[in-house]
Structure 1
């Protein structure tokens, strides 16, 4: 199957047979994986073994039936170029998403799956924003993408679409869909979705053929927040679905940001409510970069002792990172000069600088200049 990797490459059929069996959602799949280890063992289990794990009888019936007609469309979809299946046991499964409650066991992807491992910020908001809201979403996304963040959103009308479009102008974006990857919703975003598939990444937990259903979108929202270090709400009413994403982000231990607006604007009331509840008020993209530094370090290395050893140190990274570190002097240097010194692309340099800054190895100065911190030079001097 084209693009499938890890466990999914060895046996995508078993994963699909379990994951798409009627009545087996993320929680039951996780329970089964915890007990049996891999999907084929689940399919080989007896009714008694499955019942002892608390799996409902209708779901057991579906597992035992092993109805391959349910997975035919998915297998055909996977034969197409750049179509990929990522499974929960795959080493390339996003670390942050794996940490949430009931992570999706299957991810259907179109595009550059490496973006899943880039620092992400979710940008969400109203489907009926003001002109100012659209402009803010576009410009925040463009600026943060240019700084190295991958902007994650839900491909919806309004703020989501503006965030995706702005991110594509500055860097990269991930669109998390509430449908199968072969069903673009809303239809007005078909061109945008194709552009994202070509230049960035489309993600969904729903198999091909899944239409837009109201119950799909809260599930989509948990993936949006789960992939990201934090969520920025640009505009939202008090009844907006964006507040669900913000709540999920908070429950997942991520940061929540909100842009304030006029007290006379109904689309600002959701943001104001979030700020009263503890969300960080932001006025610029730099506000977000500064807030996410400590969170990035905590989420990436919560208790991993290996992360504090020299083996995991910055100088042990791939050649591109070593080249960039060596190009950074003790005095501030511009991004353009770093591109010239390293031969790397502007997008690669920006992304790596952001990661190094979030980890405390590099500091930024006004005018787009960067230099090593004492932490980095003291570790590797002499």
Structure 2
């Protein structure tokens, strides 16, 4: 029996509901040029609302060196996207709204709006991710299904990426108990296409599907790591069943570790290259899994603690209204194509963190800055 999630959900102030005007403003901001989830959060934290942030985008981009303002999504475009989603049965939800996975909402780069289709209650339940090789062995597929079934019987929802192989086995075995598919593209662009029927079965059986991509977005290679952070971020922990070296499942495991999630790995034969990545994870400290009880025992203590928003880097210092030109020039001069940490920029520039973060925000809105994992930034 799972512990009550009441206290955990209360920590995220559930039951909030955006007004339609707020939802439109959020959609406009996240769809505008050079605004990603972290930038969205910085802007709204500083200016108070998405609408106020939208009004300041041209000025901030100009200060960052943009020759002209980036494109700002119009009210009509945002309304049209929201209406098209609703016709497909998709709701765009903000963190804290019913149907937005509680643990996903705690990430620094949580989607400001998440497209949720299916049963909202399933998306909110305690979740374990199961991922692995697309060309998994028969034994790997069987064990992934066994884990999914036993975890489902224990009350957990299984979350995965709707991919071939291990993902497919995990979803199919947990349809009856509850499963969530995380999409790399829009809700109308299912990949791989042959899994459209699998997704239909998931939704028919009170499962759910989530994505941060707009309708009509065909998934590209760079979209899968973005999807993977949603898989790990929404879960208590990530189980890797089979993964070769350089597998995308290892990216999910790395993101899980960075997000403070549990990482589990199923051992395999040293002679099977499909087990090389999972065996390495165990060497690096991942919890070895031979049965569902290994996972359940590890996550039970976590579930007994309330879910709280972490103090992210953007919350530690406010933004500066308008940095001096010499500060802007010094910080920009320290940047290059090689990623550096924001802490290093603060140390090397001698400028207050608020000024450094403001300059970085200006550069990003001007299309001149790229953010990497682990708080790294680089100049484009």
Q: Same-fold call, TM > 0.5? A: yes
Offset, 1:46? 6.4
Distance 1:290 1:94 in 2: 22
Distance 1:113 1:160 in 2: 21
Distance 1:281 1:19 in 2: 39
User: Which residue is 2:256 aligned to?
Assistant: 249
Offset, 1:301? 5.9
8 Å contact from structure 1 (residues 28, 55) kept in 2 = no
Offset, 1:104? 1.2
User: Relative to 1, partners in 2 of residues 1:55 and 1:188: Cα closer, same or farther, differing over 3 Å?
Assistant: farther
Q: Matched residue of 1:79: which SS?
A: helix
User: Which residue is 1:196 aligned to?
Assistant: 202
User: Which residue is 2:226 aligned to?
Assistant: 219
Pairs within 5 Å for 1:45-194:
45=56, 47-48=58-59, 50-51=60-61, 57=66, 60-63=69-72, 66-68=73-75, 70-71=77-78, 74-80=81-87, 82-88=89-95, 90=97, 93-169=100-176, 171-194=177-200
Offset, 1:62? 1.7
Offset, 1:121? 0.3
Counterpart among 291, 298, 304 of residue 297 in structure 1: 304
Distance 2:219 2:75 in 1: 24
Offset, 1:130? 0.4
- How high is the TM-score relative to the length of structure 2? 0.72
8 Å contact from structure 2 (residues 237, 262) kept in 1 = yes
8 Å contact from structure 2 (residues 181, 208) kept in 1 = yes
Q: Matched residue of 1:207: which SS?
A: coil
Pairs within 5 Å for 1:369-380:
none
Alignment RMSD (CA, Å): 2.4
Distance 1:59 1:146 in 2: 56
- How high is the TM-score relative to the length of structure 1? 0.72
User: Relative to 1, partners in 2 of residues 1:136 and 1:27: Cα closer, same or farther, differing over 3 Å?
Assistant: same
Distance 1:204 1:141 in 2: 22
Aligned pairs, how many? 295
Q: Matched residue of 1:45: which SS?
A: helix
User: Relative to 1, partners in 2 of residues 1:248 and 1:46: Cα closer, same or farther, differing over 3 Å?
Assistant: closer
Offset, 1:125? 0.3
Q: Which has the higher mean CA deviation after the structures are superposed, 145-154 or 54-63?
A: 54-63
Offset, 1:117? 1.9
User: Relative to 1, partners in 2 of residues 1:144 and 1:8: Cα closer, same or farther, differing over 3 Å?
Assistant: farther
Counterpart among 17, 21, 34 of residue 28 in structure 2: 17
Gaps of 5+ in 2: 1-14, 311-380
User: Relative to 1, partners in 2 of residues 1:73 and 1:139: Cα closer, same or farther, differing over 3 Å?
Assistant: farther
Pairs within 5 Å for 1:256-275:
256-275=263-282
Offset, 1:25? 1.0
Distance 1:111 1:143 in 2: 23
Offset, 1:302? 8.8
Distance 1:244 1:233 in 2: 11
User: Relative to 1, partners in 2 of residues 1:261 and 1:18: Cα closer, same or farther, differing over 3 Å?
Assistant: same
8 Å contact from structure 1 (residues 183, 208) kept in 2 = yes
8 Å contact from structure 2 (residues 82, 92) kept in 1 = no
Q: Deviations over 1:134-155 (max 9, x none)?
A: 1111111111112110101011
1:236 to 2:243 alignment: yes
User: Which residue is 1:342 aligned to?
Assistant: none
Q: Matched residue of 2:70: which SS?
A: helix
User: Relative to 1, partners in 2 of residues 1:128 and 1:55: Cα closer, same or farther, differing over 3 Å?
Assistant: farther
Q: Which has the higher contact order (CA 8 A, sep 6+)?
A: 2
8 Å contact from structure 1 (residues 7, 89) kept in 2 = no
8 Å contact from structure 2 (residues 162, 168) kept in 1 = yes
8 Å contact from structure 2 (residues 99, 116) kept in 1 = no
8 Å contact from structure 1 (residues 73, 208) kept in 2 = no
8 Å contact from structure 2 (residues 96, 105) kept in 1 = no
Offset, 1:180? 0.4
8 Å contact from structure 2 (residues 247, 277) kept in 1 = yes
